[in-house]
Amino acid sequence: MLPKKHTFAFRLNLYVVSSISLIAFIIFTSYYFISRNMFLDAAEQNAKNITEKYVNQIDAVIGKVAKIPFNFAMIVENNILDEKKLVLMLQNIVANNEEVYGSAVAFEPFSFNKDKYFSSHYVYRSDEKIITSDLNDPKYEYFYQDWYQIPAKLGKPVWSEPYYDEGGGNTLMTTYSVPFFRTQNGATELWGIITIDIELDWLDKIVSSIQIYDTGFAFVISYAGTFVTHPNRNFIMNQTIFSLSEEFNIPSLRDIGRKMIAKKSGFEKLNGVTIKDDSRIYYTPFNSNQWALGVIFLDKELYADLNNLSLLIVVIGFFGLIFIVTTITTVSKKLTKPLNLFANAATEIGSGKFNSKLPEINSKDEIGELFNSFKQMQFELNNYIKNLKETTAEKEKMQSELRIAHKIQMDMVPKIFPPFPEREDVDLFAILESAKEVGGDLYDFFFIDDEKIVVLVGDVAGKGVPASLFMAVTRTLIRSKIIKGITSSQIIDQINRDLMQNNDSQLFVTLLLCIIDLKTKTMEYTSAGHNPAYIVSEKGEITVLKDRHGMALGLFDLQPYKSSIYQMEKGDKFVLYTDGVNEAMDKDGNIYDYFRLENMLVKMQKLSAKESTELIIQDIKKFADGAEQSDDITLMVVTLK
């Protein structure tokens, strides 16, 4: 189903899906965390409302019963009461207040009756009856009981820590003790304590009924942190919030407990080693005593709705993405199907079938434009190929003709060596290597008579067919001018004039023409703008024939060319060349140069003309090191024997 890698559909999916996923992720994450905070705020408010409601309810009960001993204390302080009246009042308190389990009045030693160390009365409820008793048991020593001692020492009312009633029943109780005072000898002193005992069943019922989310619960702790109510009955009276923190290794619980007994309210996260799920606690103190109420609920329940909604969004998002992928894949395939057909057509066209049928497209969209472009391309390609065929044919024809021209050109220069095997007074060798198929260099040699030999080397400006034709004309003209007794300068003059005529193309040729008398070894030569030739003696001495007698031929007829005479010796080598030798280049554009040429000349004194020529040619090739030859190279060596 998924598109293959590198296809248009795949990439489109990749870009679109990843972009949408990124945006969706950002939106979802923002939504989730903002919602979480909103849920948390709502949960805090909810917990606060619930706890305040119940705290008010509990405070109302406690506050109501707390007034009873207060009123009683005022009566005792302000009236002279005998024991009967005291007992009657206690009986009324217990009988008329169903929340009150028992009530006691206890006096300081010898203060109610100067003969009695213990003086107390206690009235309590038992099986619907009101029992009247006292707490005067010497073993009990009520002065040292918390309910008496703490308010007595503090001089103010105190709610006792919770305790189980002594009757052995499993009723949890608390006692509210109010001290009362009398004035003796002008000084106010503690006279005794009035108490009411309250069963805490009602408190447990109220607190147990508090439910937050599914498993959230409430609990009450006393001033010492002891659990007064808790869903886990084992905790009640056995554990304090602090011992629980220690036993179950929940350090945060200790801090929370301390805030609770310090009468603070708060909303906090609870976590610890033994708590599997994160949870929250909201706590608030009672106003009427020093106890505090806490509600705990699990984060997962707090966020349950949010998590369900988020899951739904994720699921919808997932299927949405699948839908997008499917749509993109389908549409892409539909859109790219013609492209595939075009690709096939292009492949066919590429293989040479220029008239391949293009896919049928009638749409006017980009694909339609592509079809038109393809159609145009096919047409242009056909034309191009047709032209190309013609051009290629022409080019091939031309190349063939050039090859023939080259052959003709090469045929024009003598190539049979040694040219004069019957003569022992001269050895001659020459090479012409064209840079292109048809070059503009030339050389020639021939005898005028038995003793005089003409040797010449020339270089037509430019290369190719025009140059070679100019060269052929020059060569032919030279040969046509040769008559007995003619000098090199005469020949040059005549040729110059001939070449100038009808030279619309402004071609020209440099030429070094020498006439050597082999008998006298006298050489007459004329240089028409050509490179200086060398004479290498048998001893290796090099002489440069620097004389130039005028400009290259074919352009101007300024003044007659002159000639120079040089007396050669037996064994001298006469070296003629074109600028293709000294201007041969290597790959880096360095020039072969005269210096290197002259170094080679020294080495050739004992070599034949052929060997000498080849020595230099090989050195040039070595120097060029495979670089393309840029100019014709012509070299001729004539050795006088």
Partner 1 sequence: MKKSLIYLCVVFVSLSINNINAQSNLKKIRFAVHWMPQAQFSGYYIGVDKGIYKKYGFDVEIIHSTSSVTSQDLLLDGKVDFASMFLTTAMVLRSYNAPIINVAQLSQRCGQVLVAKNNKIKEIANLNNKKIGIWKSGFDEILMSFINKNKLNVKIVLINSTINLFLFDGIEAMNTMWFNEYHSIINAGINEDELKTFFFADYGLDIPEDGIYMLQNNFDKETVDKFIKATFEAWNYTFENKEEAIKLVEIEMKAQNIAFNKSQQVWMLNRLHDLFYVKDKKYLKGQLLESDFENTYNILTDLNRINNSFNYVDFYFGIK
Interface ranges with partner 1 (CB under 8 A): 139, 141, 144-146, 149-150, 153-154, 158, 160-161, 164, 168, 223-226, 237-244, 246-247, 254, 257-258, 261
What token pair was written down for 339? 């492209």
- Min. distance of Cβ 52 from partner 1 in angstroms? 23
- Min. distance of Cβ 93 from partner 1 in angstroms? 25
What is the length of the chain?
641
Query: Based on CB atoms, which residue is closest to partner 1, 138 or 626?
Result: 138
- Min. distance of Cβ 67 from partner 1 in angstroms? 22
- Min. distance of Cβ 243 from partner 1 in angstroms? 4
Query: Based on CB atoms, which residue is closest to partner 1, 201 or 255?
Result: 255
Query: Based on CB atoms, which residue is closest to partner 1, 168 or 485?
Result: 168
CB neighbours (10 Å) of residue 249?
Answer: 12
> 551: which strand partners?
none
Cβ contacts of 237 within 8 Å, gap of 6 or more: 162, 163, 164, 172, 226, 227
> In angstroms, rounded to a whole number, what is the distance separating the alpha carbons of residues 529 and 496?
12
> 164: which strand partners?
172
33-58 burial: b if 16+ Cβ within 10 Å, else e: eeebeebbeebbebbeebbeebbeeb
Query: Based on CB atoms, which residue is closest to partner 1, 139 or 276?
Result: 139
Name the burial class of residue 299, with classes exposed (0-12), middle (13-18) and buried (19+) by CB atoms within 10 angstroms of its CB.
buried
Name the burial class of residue 489, with classes exposed (0-12), middle (13-18) and buried (19+) by CB atoms within 10 angstroms of its CB.
buried
- Min. distance of Cβ 265 from partner 1 in angstroms? 17
> In angstroms, rounded to a whole number, what is the distance separating the alpha carbons of residues 382 and 402?
30
Tell me if residue 21 falls in helix, strand or coil. Answer: helix
Measured between alpha carbons, how far is residue 130 from residues 102, 127, 200, 442 in Å? 9, 8, 19, 154
- Min. distance of Cβ 187 from partner 1 in angstroms? 18
Helix (H) or strand (E) run with residue 132 in it: strand 129-133
| Sheet with 217-221: strands ordered across | 227-229, 217-221, 292-298, 279-285, 266-270
- Min. distance of Cβ 240 from partner 1 in angstroms? 5
What token pair was written down for 190? 């503690």
- Min. distance of Cβ 47 from partner 1 in angstroms? 22
Query: Based on CB atoms, which residue is closest to partner 1, 241 or 442?
Result: 241
> Contact 197/171 with Cβ under 8 angstroms?
no
- Min. distance of Cβ 141 from partner 1 in angstroms? 7
Query: Based on CB atoms, which residue is closest to partner 1, 2 or 224?
Result: 224
Tell me if residue 509 falls in helix, strand or coil. Answer: strand
209 DSSP assignment: T
Q: End-to-end distance of the chain based on CA atoms, in angstroms?
A: 94
Query: Based on CB atoms, which residue is closest to partner 1, 158 or 456?
Result: 158
**Among residues 494, 476, 628, which one has the least CA distance to residue 553?**
494
- Min. distance of Cβ 158 from partner 1 in angstroms? 7
> In angstroms, rounded to a whole number, what is the distance separating the alpha carbons of residues 488 and 482?
10
Cβ contacts of 356 within 8 Å, gap of 6 or more: 345, 348, 349, 378
- Min. distance of Cβ 300 from partner 1 in angstroms? 28
Query: Based on CB atoms, which residue is closest to partner 1, 253 or 349?
Result: 253
- Min. distance of Cβ 84 from partner 1 in angstroms? 31
- Min. distance of Cβ 161 from partner 1 in angstroms? 6
Residue given tokens 């919808």 in the structure block: 316
Query: Based on CB atoms, which residue is closest to partner 1, 170 or 351?
Result: 170
- Min. distance of Cβ 150 from partner 1 in angstroms? 5
What token pair was written down for 429? 């060798």
Phi, psi of 536 (to 5 degrees): -115, 115
Query: Based on CB atoms, which residue is closest to partner 1, 265 or 608?
Result: 265
> In angstroms, rounded to a whole number, what is the distance separating the alpha carbons of residues 417 and 455?
14
> In angstroms, rounded to a whole number, what is the distance separating the alpha carbons of residues 497 and 556?
8
> Contact 62/288 with Cβ under 8 angstroms?
yes
Query: Based on CB atoms, which residue is closest to partner 1, 223 or 417?
Result: 223
Query: Based on CB atoms, which residue is closest to partner 1, 202 or 248?
Result: 248
Query: Based on CB atoms, which residue is closest to partner 1, 154 or 388?
Result: 154
